[in-house]
Chain A
Amino acid sequence: MRPDLDVVASLVGEGVSVLDLGCGEGELLDHLITRQRCSGLGIERDVEDFHACIARGVPVTQGDLETEIELTEASSFDCAVLSLTLQAVRHPAQVLEQMRRVATRQVISLPNFAHWRLRLDLAAHGRMPSTRSLPYTWYETPNIHLCTLRDFEFLASDQGMRIAKRVLLDEDGRPAPRHTRLAANLLAVGAVYLLEG
């Protein structure tokens, strides 16, 4: 499993019901269902990924997550997951609000657009940075709402959501070394947040 998904899985916990928004090939849900006694549902727009979920036996709805989450009953999950997807939705604030409506806890992972390499890249070349985790050209990128860790934390706070836990990630999506915390918004490549309320 992708290393950042290990972090997500550990924040989701054991035996909970999980809604994975933009679940891709269902790797995380498969892990949560088979290893952590969770029940789960994925939402995935891409038809190939949808079929990958079927092949894994992961329950999934094919559709746009922003439409589907609005059709999801309130408080119907313990935990809603959005991994590396917030930056690709049309209305990030509304998605957060909906995640809060349908689940008691939210686990969200995102790339940090304020990582020093991106800052340096932008400063040095004056062009939109392109990195391993954000490899697209600006005109083709699905990532239409990139933000920094600080940006996200302000948004969460504006929405009245409490950050219960934050795990900073390194280049490989693994938990970053301790010292990263000293200047998280500069040193972390990304982060996984556990939000409540």
Chain B
Amino acid sequence: MEGEGIGRVETQRAVVFDSDDPLVLDSGARLEHVEVAYETYGTLNDAGSNAVFVCHALSGDAHAAGIHEGADRPGWWDNLIGPGRPLDTGRHFVVCANLLGGCKGTTGPGSIDPATGKPYGLRFPQLAVRDLVTVHRALLRHLGITRLLAAIGGSLGGMQVLQWALDHPGELAGGLIVAASARLSAQNIAFSAVAREAIMRDPDFANGDYYELENGPDRGLALARMLAHITYLSEESMREKFGRRIQDASAPRYGFEVDFEVESYLHHQGASFVGRFDANTYLYLTRVMDYFDPFSDPVGMQRKIAAGDTKFLVLSFDSDWRFSSDHAREITQELRVAGAPVTYQEISAPFGHDSFLMPVPAYHRTIAGYIDQLSGESTATEA
């Protein structure tokens, strides 16, 4: 990480769909009021050609970089975004928005349903990756941006980039897809299923209508997060970080309470997640990932690719077993067979799936180089 970072930032809000212009979802369902929480960094140039959209993953939010007033930690992708960083805010206009269905300011299951005056809960419609993209595009219209220099995202974020490029040829000069999958494996779905079960079997879940109750499904959500967190790390990174060390003691206590450091860490992950995340959002967004399968119609997909001019960068990490390099290779292969230019690199990093959030030098170098090249091309076109 270089330089000082962006400094103070604030999350902004925009209403992007209303009753005059409702959001029609992929399923056909409608949302009469959609508000988006977003942040922007840097300045849009006169040609409007330097915008980069950051798509966040399952548990992310609009606060990708910089520091909120009173906060002690910067945004979740601050190591990538800022002056002199791979997404250089001195040259690029970076936009990040909380996802539809989210719980960090964008309309989601915790928002008030205008029809009932109460939170949606499980009456919120099921979503598809396509719907997340529809809302990103509405935000860009609101900001006066018609074409992106690039969209970038890791994990569920990468899925949005892929769907975006397929559905809207001509809108992305570059699509940067990191640690993502175009088709969850049975094992992936199995982990999501257990996480959802943990939430839904919590006695305080109240079938999703817990917003106005004293307690929500905190235990279930914590458990879901603990389970998922295991899949985000690698065996190596857990061994490095915790080994078999005992928490706050020199000898094992031989009981069922937390004893090993790794247990304590997972409990901490679970507990802190409960404070910042909504259980229903967890259900909706994990389901979005389960059903994502953009290459299921190869002919339609090839037509879409042929119509577009997006150049792709696909990256994976050798220690990621949640979305292993096989997932990235499948994306790469499908796009290439359809005729798209795709650069692919498997990066060596020990942090498992979470590597995409880490300041791994080889990884950042590739992102920076790729963005520079896109940027050079776009400048050459304008000249």
A residues near B, CB below 8 A?
Answer: 39, 41, 47, 50-51, 53-57, 59-63, 71, 73, 76
Contact = CB atoms under 8 A, between A and B. Distances in A.
Label chain B's interface by main secondary structure.
helix
Contacts of A54: 343, 366, 369-370, 373
Give the top 4 A-B pairs by smallest Cβ distance, nearest first.
Answer: A59-B341, A62-B345, A54-B369, A61-B344
A60 B343 CA distance: 5
B332 A39 contact: no
B24 interface: no
Contacts of B343: 53-54, 59-61
Interface residues of B, number: 21
Nearest to B312: A59
Contacts of B377: 57
A104 B5 CA distance: 51
B235 to A, nearest CB: 23
15 contacts: A41-B341, A41-B342, A47-B362, A50-B345, A54-B369, A54-B370, A54-B373, A55-B369, A55-B372, A57-B373, A59-B336, A59-B342, A59-B343, A62-B345, A73-B337
A56 B370 CA distance: 10
Contacts, number: 43
Contact of A62 (B329, B344, B373): B344
Given A59-B341, A71-B329, 16 more contacts: A39-B341, A41-B342, A53-B343, A54-B343, A54-B370, A55-B373, A56-B373, A57-B311, A60-B344, A61-B343, A61-B345, A62-B344, A62-B345, A62-B346, A63-B346, A76-B336
Given A54-B373, A57-B373, A61-B344, A41 B366 contact: no
Nearest to A59: B341
Contact of B369 (A39, A51, A73): A51
Interface of B: 311, 329, 332-333, 336-337, 339, 341-346, 362, 365-366, 369-370, 372-373, 377
- Interface centre among B345, B362, B377, by most chain A C-beta atoms within 10 angstroms, is B345
